[in-house]
């Protein structure tokens, strides 16, 4: 204290006494507000509050894990008060939206045998015949069906233990469990309907097309099979899969035609034949088998090596669900008889892929 001149009619000692009385009186008044009702009450040890969800207004399990306070206390009841603040000295204001009225005590580990004595929207009291709790034992009590507060932020659960079985007298510990309410994270994405289909002479992964779409067989010969190949690739996320349908006609010239093979047939030189299949063939050596990780499959009529068919409207390949990429190779063969009328024979073959979303 800084010394003062002794000219005052109140001596320094006198001032000290007066000030002391004033200060102590003032502090005593404040003390009433500062001192908890049970300021130094023992606390539950290693307190953990686990919530299955901290979302605002959600229904959650509340699992209280702890060890009882030291000294192996006598326990007859516990009070769980849900409050906006943890201070035991303050009035417990229930967090908006909290609802414990329908909670059930679903798990007890450690000291067991408790039942719910009473419950309100923000308070639960559990009871059992008085036991001497083991302070070293891990305790778990889970309440299910508690509706979370509806406001984002912190709240508290004040837990008091009592020797009495109705949580009215002989309180022997006061503790706080902190909880927090947060918003949910919603992750959104869209996968659009997808059907990737391409046709070309040569196709690399993911429909990278190249080559020609026009094939000139030159002059036909009744002793030589003419052949060529194209490819188509397909992938889709259509839930019900896809079909690839053959459209077009056989080779024609005016009112003359080369016969389309209406059933799977081997290539025969000197015959009138126009057909396709989707396999690797040896007679003639043309084509390749299906590739890719998709689940697409070949129609059986076009799925036998060296047997060819051409029927407008036939399904060539299909998948029953969404499929990753498959690459199909279409082999074309043409045989002509000796008496085939002269002319320029041509056709346009179209492949139609339809996804079933």
Partner 1 sequence: MQKIRIKLNRGVSAVIAVLFMALLGGANLGLFGGGVAFADNLTSRKVTVSSSAKGSISTNAAGQAVPAGEGGNGAKANHTFSFTLPTTGNVGSVKFKYCTTAFGACTAPTGLDASTLATMASSTGWSGSFPLSLDTSTNLTSGDAECVGSGNGRTNCIAVKKGTADSESTGARTVGFGTGGGTDWIKNPTSVGDYYVRIQLYATTAYGTPGDSGNVMFAIVDQVNITTKVQETLNFSVANTPVDPSTSCVALSGGGNIFLGDVTNHVLDFTQAYDNHTYFRLSTNSANGVVVQYSGDTLKSGSESIDVAGTAGPTPEASTVGAEQFGIGIDSADATAFGYSFTNLSASAPYSTGNGTITNGGTASFYFDTASKTAPITVASSANVVICDTGSVRYLANISPNTAAGVYTTTITYIATPTY
Residue with tokens 């030159």: 218
- Give Cβ neighbours of residue 266 (< 8 Å, ≥ 6 apart): 283, 306, 307, 308
When the beta carbons of 265 and 297 are compared against partner 1, the nearer one is 297
Binding residue for partner 1 (CB under 8 A) from 95, 149, 275, 294? Answer: 294
Among 91, 115, 186, 254, binds partner 1 (CB under 8 A): 186
Judged by CB under 8 A, the residue of 16, 96, 137, 249 near partner 1 is 16
Nearer to partner 1, 84 or 228 (CB): 84
Near partner 1 by CB under 8 A: residue from 53, 72, 108, 271: 53
- Asked if 236 touches partner 1 (CB under 8 A), the answer is yes
Structure tokens at 212: 């020609």
**Contact set for partner 1, span 71-110 (CB under 8 A):** 85-89
| Shortest separation between residue 191's beta carbon and partner 1, angstroms | 5
Q: Which CB sits closer to partner 1, 187 or 342?
A: 187
Determine if 190 is a binding residue for partner 1 (CB under 8 A).
yes
Smallest gap from residue 53 Cβ to partner 1 (A): 5
| From candidates 191, 210, 342, 348, binder to partner 1 by CB under 8 A | 191
Piece in contact with partner 1 (CB under 8 A), picked from 4-12, 106-114, 122-130, 211-219? 4-12
Compute CA distances 288 → 10, 202, 285, whole Å: 116, 12, 9
What is the C-alpha to C-alpha distance for residues 180 and 54, in angstroms, rounded to an integer?
6
Q: Residue 279: which residues within 8 A CB-CB, separation 6 or more?
A: 287, 288, 289, 298, 302, 303, 304, 305, 331
Q: State in angstroms the smallest separation of the CB of 160 from partner 1.
A: 15
CA angle centred on 352, ends 347 and 357, rounded to 5°: 175
Whose CA is closest to 226, among 235, 216, 237, 236? 216
Q: Which of 293, 271, 269, 266 is nearest to 281 (CA)?
A: 266
Using CB under 8 A as the binding rule, whether residue 57 contacts partner 1 is answered as: no
Tell me the number of residues near partner 1 by CB under 8 A: 68
Q: Does 22 bind partner 1 (CB under 8 A)?
A: no
276 is written with which tokens? 């396709």
Distance in Å, CB of 144 to partner 1, minimum: 13
Q: Phi, psi at residue 24, to the nearest 5°?
A: -65, -40
How far is residue 290's CA from residue 277's CA, in Å, rounded to a whole number? 11
CA torsion angle 49 55 57 59 (round to 10): -60
The residues of the shown chain that bind partner 1, judged by CB under 8 A, are 3, 6, 11-14, 16-17, 20, 24, 27, 31, 34-36, 39-40, 46-55, 85-89, 152-154, 156, 176-180, 182-194, 196, 206, 235-239, 294, 321-325, 357
């Amino acid at each position: 204290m800084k010394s003062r001149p002794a000219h005052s009619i109140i001596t320094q000692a006198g001032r000290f006494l007066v000030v002391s009385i004033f200060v102590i009186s003032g502090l005593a008044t404040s003390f009433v507000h500062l001192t908890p009702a049970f300021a130094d009450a023992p606390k539950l040890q290693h307190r953990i509050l686990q919530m299955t969800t901290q979302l605002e207004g959600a229904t959650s399990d509340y699992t209280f894990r702890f060890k009882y306070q030291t000294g192996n206390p006598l326990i007859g009841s516990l009070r769980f008060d849900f409050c906006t603040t943890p201070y035991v000295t303050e009035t417990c204001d229930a967090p908006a939206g909290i609802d414990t009225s329908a909670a059930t005590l679903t798990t007890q580990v450690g000291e067991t045998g408790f039942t719910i004595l009473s419950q309100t929207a923000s308070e639960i009291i559990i009871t059992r015949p008085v036991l001497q709790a083991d302070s070293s034992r891990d305790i778990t009590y889970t309440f299910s069906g508690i509706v979370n507060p509806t406001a984002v932020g912190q709240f508290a659960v004040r837990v008091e233990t009592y020797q009495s079985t109705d949580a009215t007298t002989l309180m022997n510990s006061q503790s706080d469990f902190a909880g927090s309410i947060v918003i949910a994270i919603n992750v959104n994405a869209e996968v659009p309907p997808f059907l990737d289909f391409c046709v070309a002479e040569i196709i690399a992964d993911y429909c990278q097309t190249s080559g020609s779409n026009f094939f000139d067989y030159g002059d036909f010969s009744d002793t030589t099979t003419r052949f060529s190949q194209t490819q188509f690739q397909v992938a889709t996320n259509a839930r019900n899969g896809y079909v690839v349908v053959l459209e077009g006609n056989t080779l024609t010239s005016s009112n003359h035609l080369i016969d389309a093979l209406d059933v799977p047939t081997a290539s025969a030189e000197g015959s009138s034949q126009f057909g396709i299949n989707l396999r690797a063939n040896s007679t003639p050596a043309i084509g390749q088998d299906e590739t890719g990780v998709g689940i697409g499959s070949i129609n059986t009529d076009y799925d036998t090596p060296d047997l060819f068919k051409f029927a407008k409207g036939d399904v060539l390949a299909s998948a029953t669900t969404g499929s990753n990429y498959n690459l199909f190779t279409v082999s074309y063969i043409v045989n002509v008889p000796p008496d085939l009328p002269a002319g320029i024979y041509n056709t346009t073959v179209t492949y139609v892929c339809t996804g079933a979303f």
